[in-house]
A and B are shown apart, each in its own frame.
Chain A
Amino acid sequence: MRLKLLLATGVLYGSSLTFAGDNKGIAWQDYAPATAAAKKANQPVLVDFWRPG
Chain B
Amino acid sequence: MEESTYVAPKVIRLQDQLVFAKVNGHEDTALVRQYGISGYPTIILLAATGEEIDRMWGYFPPDSFRQTVTDYLTGVGTLPALEKQLAKEPENIGLLMQVGEKYASRSRFEKAVELYKQVIAKDRENKTGKVPEAISNAGDALSRGKKFMIAKKYFQTIVEKYPASEQYNDALLEIPHALVASSGPPRPWPSAHIPRSDTPRNPRIADRAYRKRLLRR
CB within 8 Å of A: which residues of B? 1, 6-7, 11-12, 14-15, 17-26, 28, 31-32, 35, 37, 40-50, 53, 69, 73
Contact = CB atoms under 8 A, between A and B. Distances in A.
B18 A27 contact: no
A43 B42 CA distance: 20
A28 B14 CA distance: 12
Nearest to A24: B12
A19 interface: no
Interface residues of A, number: 25
Interface of A: 24-31, 34-35, 37-39, 41-52
B23 A27 contact: no
Given A26-B11, A41-B48, A43-B48, A48 B19 contact: no
Contacts of A28: 20-22
27 contacts: A25-B6, A26-B6, A26-B11, A27-B15, A29-B21, A30-B23, A35-B21, A38-B46, A41-B19, A43-B19, A44-B17, A44-B19, A44-B47, A44-B73, A45-B18, A45-B19, A46-B21, A46-B69, A47-B21, A47-B44, A48-B20, A48-B21, A49-B23, A49-B44, A50-B1, A50-B40, A51-B26
